[in-house]
Amino acid sequence: MQWIKDIIKHNVDDRSLEEAKTWLNDVMSHGCVSGSVSGLIWYQETSKIYEDNEIRIITYLEDNDVELKLQHETILTIMNDRVWCVFEMLVEPCFDEMVEDEELSFPEE
């Protein structure tokens, strides 16, 4: 999903590959809840991403049999949790696609 690559680029564009890998490891270890993913911190950010990608996000979650346990069921928290979940599931393979010849590559799509 392009929005994931856009978020990755926003977070690592000015970093070396090693620094970007450290960021990825932090995201993989602590998740979006840690606040380390700029662009996925505020409800206004995650709700916009959700609204722009709702069908793709829901389809991805359903296709992968993901059932979120929601503690605070407001529309904003549901959208937020779904965006975070998909991002956390796809950040590593998307990141790997962006590494070319031991350098980060950000082709325009």
Q: Is the per-residue pLDDT at 70 higher than 80?
A: no
pTM of the model: 0.87
Give the mean model confidence (pLDDT) for residues 92-98.
Answer: 87
Beta-carbon contacts of 67 under 8 Å, excluding residues fewer than 6 positions away, are none
Contact 75, 26 (CB under 8 A): no
**Two tokens at 88?**
């956390």
Token pair belonging to 75: 């529309």
The answer on pLDDT for 109 being more than 60 is no
